[in-house]
Structure 1
Amino acid sequence: MSSSPSVPTSFATPIPSPLPHPRYPSRFTSSLPCDEISSLGHEDGADAVPVPDSLLSTPRMVRNAVYSYVNPEDQSEGAFLLSWNKEFAKDLGINDSKLEKKNWTAEEYQNLVKVLSGGGRKIPKAEYEKQQQEGNKGPRLAQPWAHCYGGHQFGYYAGQLGDGRAISLYETVNPETGEPWELQLKGAGKTPYSRFADGYAVLRSSIREYLCAEAVAALNVGSSRSLAILSTETMVVREDGGEPGAIVCRVAPSWIRFGSFEIFFYRKDRKNLRRLAEYVCDEVFHLPKDDPQETAHFTEQFRKFHLNKAAEAAASTPMETQTASEDASESTTTATAAVEGAVEGAPVAEPQHKPKYRNRFAKMFEQITHRTAIMVSGWQAIGFCHGVMNTDNMSVLGLTIDYGPYAFLDTYDPTWVCNHSDTEGRYSFQQQPGICLWNLGRLALTLENYIGAQERVDDREWLQQQESDPEKEKHLKEAASDIVIEILNKSFRDVFLKDYRERMNAKMGLGAADQVRDQDLTTIVVPALKWMDDHEIDFHAFFRALAEYKVQTTESVDQNMDQVEALVKRLLSPTIWQAGGQSAVEEAKDWIMPYHTRIVQSDELKDDQARRARMNKVNPAFVLRNWVAQRVIERVTESVMKTREQSKEEDPDKDLLDRVLWMCQHPFGEEQQSSTKVEQVTVDGVTCEVKRNDAGLEAYGEFVGPVPEWGQGIQCSCSS
């Protein structure tokens, strides 16, 4: 039986089918430094002695490490699968014949539940040995680990944080696409980073994350993904008493965060900060090493620049020389202030023109900045509030991760705060782009020496000399500031605005990216949002209703007032319509007039039917609002209790999670056209029509429509 020299077979967990084959050993753990305590016993051979689980999971300060080996707590007794994401399973590279649960053997089901609930080492030896015969892929072995990272929480650096209840099970690679994935169990028990917590997750928060990761991804915004959710017998104690426990298997290409860099920066651990940065450049973004010929060419350019400056200085008068020196000092101060302004959301001054070399670390920061801009642009366009945008919750890949007290907007309110723990409104909906800039500024601080070193970043001896001298290190930071400012301007501000314009134009039926006009944002989109805010308009209903607006053969809004009134009446609540409907109609003209004019100027846009179809492909009919999530949680929890009590009562919600998962993954409503069956369902005294698609899954039904009074403005806390 072969094994990696870094992980003895006696210490590893077998990964059974139908789960995808693990990459063995893990690229992450074999490339980066491990926690010294958890690495004990990881030498291979007969003498290897595994560290006891009780020691591995003991909360402690971990230094000089990017991760710690730790085994999930065995919660497999009485655990069962609540939902399996067969659509995403295909992306992982799982064999087509094993995508659906109905195609698993009883043994495969039992072994999968064991692995995903921490009991993988209970898999019988015969089964484990059978898994080793898969051609030349290597053994189906994994050694789980937890990430070590720090982070700023609500604006203040909090020191060591880390995966307190999430444990990475293993890495895999889709054999067809070559895309890497890291499977992680959330709620899998204590780790060295649990501090005073228990490492568990409650069912309600697990359902929220399981569903929302797929909902956000389906709305074309970067997100972690969900593979499975399991119910466990663990009773988890939270503020309101005991709650049923659960484990989510969530997946991402990488779980590295801004805080992964911060912990080494604030500990002044330059060695491991460099190792992590190199790993992200090489393995996450696949950036090439800096070309020596290219750096030599830049050095020559830079030398000529300084020679010219020296010649100019020699030709100047003493007074002029003094003034130039003062100007240079002032420009440096201005550049530094501009960086602070950038992360605070203030206008950014363009850096002075002088030779700058972007090495691979600057390119890495540029990629992270670009991806973050696209992510938060998506959030603003789909009306998504993250709730806890701490730097430890920011992915270097620009993915939405760590779904806690999130919310999709109900009525449009830019000041909405979905996290009731956020008493100052730091992470309100309108603050999200600015907070991303602030967080990028914190990340830039950790990388500024490498960025500032420019073409000499691989001259380790020279760089060490600069870092050991405070005055020389100051020059590194000054050199970095110009590059960082330029990246924040071009790769965040410009990218954000471009992407946001394109998304909002598509939502409003104003055409594809090549049809965007600069004035659309200021004359149509922003006034429309203000009108929505003034009249408490449902954000998502607005765009679906706007798709029904017909310009027909009219040339002006005055000729189309019946359509305008119908649109406004549909969007306003009956009470508001009676109290001030006509006033709302008049105020709507501020954005409807330029909107109408913009549409009728284009033969493509004024085709009402085609425009409606395009809009309904980007504006969801189903939205995982907080009231929907709350209703699903209540019903699934009741269903879980029936299962555990072995109730004989019929359980209509046994497959509810699968049905709602399908809605999250297909939110736009086009599937309703192929529905084959219509049922009348009564919920809380209200009868609604439920359509079922060809697969027999509920197509939206009761979860689409006006927000019930009890469900308006639901906030959540960080507790889960």
Structure 2
Amino acid sequence: MDALGIPTSRAAAIVVSRDMVVRDQFYNGRMKYEPAAVVLRLAPTWFRIGSLEILTKEQEKLNLKQVVDFTVEHYMPTVERENYVKFFETVVEQSSALVAKWMAHGFTHGVLNTDNMSLLSITIDYGPFGFLDSYNPSFVPNHSDDEGRYSYLNQPKIFKWNLACLADALQPLLSAEEQQQTADIIKRFDDIYLEQFMSIFRRKLGLSRPAKDEVRLIQLLLDMMQQRRADFTQTFRQLGDLHLDNIELNEEHWALHSISNHRRFSEFITLYQESLKETETKEEERHRIMNSVNPQYVLRNWMAEAAIRQAEKGDFNLTNVLLKVLRKPYEKDDEAEALGFSNSPPDWACSLRVSCSS
């Protein structure tokens, strides 16, 4: 995630023990012994929206004020002390930027409650997460999320809900006028998020600046991808490798094949070319922009599962390969290509399920 340019906590180390522990991964009674392990995770602070909610609920106003003041003093240099509206506005802006980056890379958190949202708008509490394979807006990585509350498509909506909870938690520190100001900021969330979303998706298509029909262009591509279940990561990456004036698809463009025979594909290409012309974006610049924001590799669940199966046998070779490759996700790697990391996921990947205990 860090190498993708997404704000995140970091894993500093993992220590694996020879001691075995009993785990019931999917809470279905099928318990098994697995090696115990401890992961050391680092972040500037672990304060979350939930950290403030519980203090407000318990009417601990002094502690609430101390936590917010501490966060502002140490991590928000542009916010004046005790300017809690500006603090809230900063969290909203940074959070909208974070979820826009998630959406742009096909990342789905899986359990996005207020206790899993950092006040610093960094990705924390990795559990049943997953990157999209085929573009499915309803994708849910958490096997116990039957209602799809935390689906890929719902993430911006959930961010907005959680930020409204943050506004409620801050109320003991706000005057009536300031409470209204935070309510007004929440009302602007959709516009703030859309601006962030368009900024990054514009670059995913290689546009050097805004274009008149960019919203229609992006939506048209996503509609085709959804209808043909095109691979999310590789569709954008392979699109950046094409020459639009002379489109020739080969076996390396396997993701684009799924949309190239869509009845609206030629309409998309025409609109795409018009947008590039309007923004005066040359082909060389388009390729450069797209390859800087569209990764060749993301940590797909099948790749993690394959590494886990090896690691359970004491073989950490694939784990180390993944560490190497994912440190430079925008660069092609011969070993990664040989292992199929940029190929269509294997059939068995469709059956993978992830839980909070994964």
| TM-score by shorter chain over 0.5 | yes
- Of 431, 448, 452 in structure 1, the residue corresponding to residue 154 of structure 2 is 431
Residue 199 of structure 2 is matched in structure 1 by 502
Aligned-partner Cα distance in 2 for 1:277–1:571:
47
**Equivalence map 1:625-644=2 (5 Å):** 625-639=300-314
Please give the per-residue CA displacement for 1:514-560, whole angstroms capped at 9, x wherever unaligned.
x1235312x200111011001110001101221132134xxxxxxx5
Residue 551 of structure 1 is matched in structure 2 by 244
**Equivalence map 1:313-332=2 (5 Å):** none
Q: 1:530 to 1:217 in 2, by over 3 A?
A: same
1:230 aligns with 2:15: yes
Normalising by structure 2, we get a TM-score of 0.90
What are the ranges of 5 or more consecutive residues in structure 2 without an aligned counterpart? 25-30
Aligned-partner Cα distance in 2 for 1:618–1:569:
18
Contact 1:258/1:395 (<8 A) preserved: yes
1:701 aligns with 2:329: no
Q: 1:572 to 1:286 in 2, by over 3 A?
A: closer
**Equivalence map 1:398-413=2 (5 Å):** 398-413=121-136
Counterpart of 1:517, as a letter, is A
Deviation, 1:719, is 1.8
What secondary structure does 1:243 align onto?
A: strand
1:617 aligns with 2:292: yes
1:278 aligns with 2:69: yes
1:517 aligns with 2:211: yes
Q: 1:564 to 1:536 in 2, by over 3 A?
A: farther
Identity of aligned residues (%): 34
Counterpart of 1:526, as a letter, is Q
Deviation, 1:410, is 0.4
Aligned-partner Cα distance in 2 for 1:664–1:361:
38
Contact 2:107/2:129 (<8 A) preserved: yes
Please give the per-residue CA displacement for 1:609-661, whole angstroms capped at 9, x wherever unaligned.
4422331222111111010110011112212xxxxxxxxxxxxx444323211
- Of 142, 162, 185 in structure 2, the residue corresponding to residue 487 of structure 1 is 185
1:532 aligns with 2:225: yes
Please give the per-residue CA displacement for 1:227-281, whole angstroms capped at 9, x wherever unaligned.
1111113322111322111111111111111111111111122232222222222
Residue 712 of structure 1 is matched in structure 2 by 350
Please give the per-residue CA displacement for 1:273-315, whole angstroms capped at 9, x wherever unaligned.
222222222233246656xxxxxxxxxxxxxxxxxxxxxxxxx
Counterpart of 2:94, as a letter, is R
Deviation, 1:704, is 2.5
Q: 1:288 to 1:530 in 2, by over 3 A?
A: closer
- Of 598, 608, 612 in structure 1, the residue corresponding to residue 275 of structure 2 is 598
Residue 28 of structure 2 is matched in structure 1 by none
Quick check: 622-631 or 657-666, which moved more? 657-666
Contact 2:207/2:279 (<8 A) preserved: no
* Alignment: residue pair count: 351
Contact 2:135/2:230 (<8 A) preserved: yes
**Equivalence map 1:247-286=2 (5 Å):** 247-286=38-77
**Equivalence map 1:238-249=2 (5 Å):** 238-239=23-24, 240-249=31-40
Residue 87 of structure 1 is matched in structure 2 by none
What secondary structure does 1:429 align onto?
A: coil
Max Rg structure = 1
What secondary structure does 2:22 align onto?
A: strand
Structural RMSD (CA) = 2.4
Please give the per-residue CA displacement for 1:409-450, whole angstroms capped at 9, x wherever unaligned.
000011111111101100000000000000001111010232
**Equivalence map 1:540-689=2 (5 Å):** 540-552=233-245, 563=247, 570-571=254-255, 582=261, 584=262, 586-601=263-278, 603=280, 605-607=281-283, 609-639=284-314, 653-669=315-331, 672=333
Counterpart of 2:181, as a letter, is I
Q: 1:384 to 1:505 in 2, by over 3 A?
A: same
What secondary structure does 1:530 align onto?
A: helix
Deviation, 1:378, is 0.4
Deviation, 1:371, is 1.2
- Of 153, 163, 174 in structure 2, the residue corresponding to residue 440 of structure 1 is 163
Aligned-partner Cα distance in 1 for 2:185–2:351:
37
What are the ranges of 5 or more consecutive residues in structure 1 without an aligned counterpart? 1-215, 291-358, 454-475, 553-559, 640-652, 673-690, 692-697
Please give the per-residue CA displacement for 1:547-587, whole angstroms capped at 9, x wherever unaligned.
132134xxxxxxx5xx27779984367xx79xxx74x1x22
**Equivalence map 1:85-484=2 (5 Å):** 216-239=1-24, 240-286=31-77, 360-451=83-174, 453=175, 476=176, 479-484=177-182
Specify which structure has the bigger relative contact order, considering alpha-carbon pairs within 8 angstroms and separated by 6 or more residues: 2
Contact 2:301/2:349 (<8 A) preserved: yes
Counterpart of 2:111, as a letter, is V
